Structure 1
Amino acid sequence: MRQMEEQLSKLPVTAVSDALKGQTNMNPAIQPVKEELRLFGRAHTVKVRAADNKLVLRGISEAKTGDVLVVDARGWRENAACGDFVVGLAKTLGLSGMVIDGAVRDLAGIRDLDFPVFCLGTTQAASGRHGTGETGVPVSCGGAVVKPGDWIIGDLDGVAVIPAGEEEQVLIAAQKKLEADEAREKKVLQNVASARTYLDDVLQ
């Protein structure tokens, strides 16, 4: 299983999306705050009310080393689900990243942490700590269903969910797609004539 996890973690999200026929893609507006950082790990889920982030802290406390905290903040962008201090807590406790269907703040501080955070954007406004919500339950994040224990993978192209139990078939299908893409590139992009032949075949 460990070898499979390592192979999955290196896949581009586009290949995972193709393997799952795009059915588990999150909203592409959910993007990394630092472009070069990739994201991979099992989901620990949090559902919060807009402008209430106390359960984000509970989720961080409950999560296991290597988990990705997945926060269903209902797409709310007026108040931040967390800032650099809370992200720092997640990093210190060994989480592998955060995905937030909502906003963050303290963007420069988060980038300085070199910790993968994917979200809808930034805001200057804080949230309150009322404790409304749930942790460790199925959530909707960026339009994708995420259950605790699912795999989350993210890179510059976006975020996708690999449902728990489908790891092997996703890995096989994604690797086949990458191999086919590489073979196509070698065949088609070698010169002008081969590129023209490809276009003629596709467009006829």
Structure 2
Amino acid sequence: MSTLAAELFTLLLMAFALGMDAFSIGLGMGMYKLRLRQLFYIGITVGVFHVVMPLVGMLTGSFLSDTFGTFASLLGGVLLLVLGIQMFVSSFRNDDGPALAPVGFGLFVFALSVSLDSFSVGLSLGIFGARTFVAIACFGIVATVLTWLGLWLGRHVQGWLGNYSEALGGAILFAFGLKLLLALF
């Protein structure tokens, strides 16, 4: 497999892991009485945030990599490990769901909350020198599609998959963090 294909595959897996947050929360929000137009805007907004947050993270990570070298690589791997553990653990907490409706300011808060982890992953990717456009395109497209899928499924089923999807996303991020750390040694 070529290096571009391998990087694309890795980025798609990471995008899937990050998008599982949006999917699982979208699953719960899909149980609100939302019109299809609202579902469309929610997905687009989450996708935009999943482009902006990792882009800022990648730019910051690139600067850190140039400045601090191996230490920055170690930090990037540790960030992915911690993020993966946090996502995995939070998936088993019993939350009642979002306190804000996904419209107006509530949509902004929702999109920001599900994309904050994208900043950390972007930071790690910037440290490791990933292709910026490919990474943010993967993150934005996958997050948008998974959000739409979660919202749509939430309209049709009860939240039986939500916790497990976020746990899967956390496990994938943890595995990538471990892979990045093992590559240093």
TM score, norm. by length of structure 1:
0.25
Q: Which has the higher helix share?
A: 2
Return the index of the structure with the highest Cα Rg: 1
In terms of fraction of residues, the more strand-rich structure is 1
